[in-house]
């Protein structure tokens, strides 16, 4: 089976069948990783370039490791030291990378829609590694993979996402992906953190953290973007923690076996207390490990699709 699109731009437009194909392939990749297989031939002769206009640790590095473990060539364009600083446009940068033979471009950009703009103008596959407040599909895929691995399936799973939903590309991608696979999503945050008309997405919306945590199988805390605190949209970090942060007391009230997730990087003592980050309920490091497997699967599936076209 092949992916429908040459690109991975978001989960809103991705068919459930493609999400399932990626999850199945990621499970195979994870088995290989568990066997410590770090020099495989899947991407031999393929070239992957990453282009990050925003900071990243997990996403950028896991794409690099994924490409290298599968035998591909990986190059990162350090945007801050590139000709972007001389005024080169996104399109010219993308076309330059393509002219050098890149099969896949992985891009993170501060503007929502930037990966789509590029994908429509180059023949290389484009993977959205996070665009503005729009989507972060590879993060959601690794989150969904982690939930599926732990619970065996997604149908009926109760997932609470808590934090600044309005500015979160992670929340959006998870909402679209989880809903397609039958999970029941609850979104929780103060009113200033909720996008208008979000109820129409089918998610349950609440401003009450106790209500949101009750009965949840998974609680995903979102990173508070400190730049938003200055914009007056959120109270101080301490106030945020008092109302919406998850500490040991809150964890004790959660359902037995609850999974605590966070896309990272965590602001310890803000979204989650340190004790919760390091607790047995936390699967934050597992998410990171699964991120490599999911990105291996994506690179493999996209290059396989491209080879099939030629």
Q: Which residues bind ligand CP (CB under 6 A)?
A: 56-59, 130, 139, 263-265
**Chain-centre distance for alpha carbon 276:** 21
If the CB atoms of residues 56 and 96 are measured against ligand CP, the closer one turns out to be: 56
If the CB atoms of residues 53 and 206 are measured against ligand CP, the closer one turns out to be: 53
Q: d(Cα 21, Cα 301) in Å, to the nearest integer?
A: 9
CB of 178 to ligand CP, least distance (A): 17
If the CB atoms of residues 139 and 303 are measured against ligand CP, the closer one turns out to be: 139
Query: Measured on CA atoms in the order 185, 186, 188, 193, is the torsion positive or negative?
Result: positive
Local structure of residue 223 (DSSP, 8 states): P
Two structure tokens written together for 105: 């471009």
If the CB atoms of residues 96 and 289 are measured against ligand CP, the closer one turns out to be: 289
CB of 266 to ligand CP, least distance (A): 10
CB of 209 to ligand CP, least distance (A): 22
CB of 138 to ligand CP, least distance (A): 8
For the beta carbon of residue 309, count every other beta carbon within 10 angstroms: 9
Q: d(Cα 209, Cα 230) in Å, to the nearest integer?
A: 23
Q: Are 126 and 93 in contact (CB under 8 A)?
A: no
If the CB atoms of residues 51 and 184 are measured against ligand CP, the closer one turns out to be: 51
Contacts of 307 (CB under 8 A, 6+ apart): none
CB of 197 to ligand CP, least distance (A): 26
Query: Measured on CA atoms in the order 241, 246, 249, 255, is the torsion positive or negative?
Result: positive
CB of 169 to ligand CP, least distance (A): 9
Rg (CA), the chain: 19
If the CB atoms of residues 97 and 142 are measured against ligand CP, the closer one turns out to be: 142
């Amino acid at each position: 089976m092949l992916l429908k699109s040459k690109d991975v731009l978001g989960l809103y437009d991705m068919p459930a069948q493609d999400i399932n194909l990626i999850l199945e392939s990621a499970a195979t990749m994870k088995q290989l990783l568990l066997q410590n297989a770090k020099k495989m031939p899947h991407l031999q002769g393929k070239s992957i370039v990453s282009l990050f206009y925003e900071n990243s640790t997990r996403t950028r590095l896991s794409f690099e490791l994924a490409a290298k473990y599968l035998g591909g060539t990986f190059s990162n364009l350090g945007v801050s030291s590139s000709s972007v600083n001389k005024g080169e446009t996104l399109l010219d940068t993308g076309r330059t990378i393509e002219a050098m033979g890149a099969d896949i471009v992985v891009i993170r950009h501060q503007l929502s829609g930037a990966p789509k703009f590029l994908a429509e103008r180059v023949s290389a596959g484009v993977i959205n590694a996070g665009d503005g407040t729009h989507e972060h599909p590879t993060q959601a895929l690794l989150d969904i993979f982690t939930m599926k691995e732990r619970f065996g399936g997604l149908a009926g799973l109760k997932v609470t996402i808590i934090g600044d939903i309005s500015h979160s590309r992670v929340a959006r991608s998870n909402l679209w992906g989880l809903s397609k696979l039958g999970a029941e999503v609850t979104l929780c945050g103060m009113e200033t953190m909720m996008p208008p008309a979000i109820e129409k997405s089918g998610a349950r919306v609440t401003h009450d953290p106790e209500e949101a945590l009750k009965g949840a199988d998974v609680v995903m805390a979102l990173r508070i973007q400190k730049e938003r605190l200055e914009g007056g949209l959120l109270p101080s970090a301490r106030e945020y923690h008092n109302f919406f942060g998850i500490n040991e007391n809150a964890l004790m009230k959660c359902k037995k076996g609850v999974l605590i997730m966070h896309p990272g990087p965590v602001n310890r003592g803000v979204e989650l207390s340190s004790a919760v980050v390091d607790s047995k309920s936390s699967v934050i490091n597992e998410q990171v490990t699964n991120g490599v497997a999911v990105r291996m699967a994506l690179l493999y599936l996209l290059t396989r699709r491209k080879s099939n076209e030629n």
